[in-house]
Structure 1
């Protein structure tokens, strides 16, 4: 089985947090933000083949294949109360994965956090497919509508090449997504989160998740843009944990 999750070093706890990163990213980028939580949770981050240090491995191209692989790895872990938190692309992965796990008692799925993503109540697959086929220059321009790429990424050709490759792979996965549950509500307590200055995902966009998941409150809005979560991780997880039944 291809591993798709990576454990955060030294993390331990009676509960498990599994985090799913943004498009073009990787879980290790979030390790510094997760550090305050490592004594409270056993933490895993999505770690996909085909990118960065795993560039020699075959990348996933289909959401269903990815979430089945994630579910299989999760169910091989020892049983613990589990919280899923996905940001942007990762939110779509987490939502799809939750449907894989919700009816399996061994998963012990307690709550779902969905951050900085419009509710998938309309088909956006063509838009994602288009993003995956843009030129390097056009793709950078589109990404920077969310937030500027770090200068080190843009000035180092190798880093930029790997980043754009990862972005295209993730947009390809998003383009494959079909919401087969668009007319039913996921029976998992869910927290919807966003940045109050996100230019792409508004609070009104986030509110529409209430038709798809069991939201207990209005979206939780933090100060910041699309990548606000780096600065608010501990509070976001604290609020997610309070949703446990």
Structure 2
């Protein structure tokens, strides 16, 4: 079970007695904080593993969904600002990559991004968009199936489909309508982009586009698999995300 958290946006999967670093993970469209629970055994004892819990799922099931990027990332940034500063890595998969990026921009605008040392973006290029779309329920289900999504099989169950589809539909609406600002300031963190070599949504060349968004270093890692390559590669991806993090300046 997730550990208690003072914020509904933050699910704690580990709680070190004396944390030395923090890993904050952002789920994909339709995803939830529990997606990152299996990472806990692969973080070292001094790492605080947090996952963002978007409204409308799991313990926040009855809360209203947020259909656009700005209010979502503003709320997430506000909650992260309340945490004590630690050397921190952001990891976002698919839609979560865009949410992590936009959250980092908001922290930077608030003058509070100095402790963010790395942004890991997975399965989404910086300018990936399909354009505003009106998706029927069948369209959404087919999109999830085409990516090998973790909800694909349970959506065959009518009761589970009715339960899960609102959040998935909402997130597709959110990411379909999202556009990265062309005049956004460059990031000042290291960026590590990861993708599967058989991802139908993004190519390694498109993932390399993240290099233009930062003045920090850039690394690209291509692993075997489809859009959800990180599920069978949980240990490797978790360890990549938490490669040595520089300590905060004194």
User: Shorter chain as normaliser: what TM range?
Assistant: 0.7 to 0.9
Q: Point out where structure 2 has 5 or more consecutive residues left out of the alignment.
A: 1-5
3-state SS of 1:193 partner: strand
In the aligned structure 2, how far is the partner of 1:196 from the partner of 1:215?
25
Q: CA deviation at 1:137?
A: 1.8
3-state SS of 2:180 partner: coil
2:80 maps to: 74
1:161 maps to: 162
2:48 is the alignment partner of 1:42: yes
Q: CA deviation at 1:73?
A: 0.6
Pair 1:180–1:28, CA change in 2 (3 A):
same
Q: CA deviation at 1:181?
A: 4.3
Please report the TM-score for the alignment, with normalisation by the length of structure 2.
Answer: 0.84
Pair 1:93–1:228, CA change in 2 (3 A):
same
Q: Point out where structure 1 has 5 or more consecutive residues left out of the alignment.
A: none
Counterparts of residues 116-131 of structure 1 (less than 5 Å): 116-120=123-127, 124=129, 127=130, 129-130=132-133
Q: CA deviation at 1:49?
A: 1.4
Corresponding residue pairs, total: 239
1:85 maps to: 91
Counterparts of residues 1-245 of structure 1 (less than 5 Å): 3-10=8-15, 13-37=19-43, 39-102=45-108, 104-105=111-112, 108-120=115-127, 124=129, 127=130, 129-130=132-133, 133-147=134-148, 152-182=153-183, 184-214=185-215, 216-242=217-243, 244-245=245-246
Q: CA deviation at 1:145?
A: 1.6
Deviation sequence 1:210-243 (CA, Å, 0-9, x none): 1223463441011111111123334334334447
Pair 1:106–1:178, CA change in 2 (3 A):
closer
In the aligned structure 2, how far is the partner of 1:141 from the partner of 1:112?
30
3-state SS of 1:161 partner: helix
Pair 1:92–1:23, CA change in 2 (3 A):
same
In the aligned structure 1, how far is the partner of 2:241 from the partner of 2:217?
11
Do the aligned residues in 2 keep the contact of 1:19 with 1:45 (CA within 8 Å)?
A: yes
Pair 1:119–1:35, CA change in 2 (3 A):
same
**Higher helix proportion:** 1
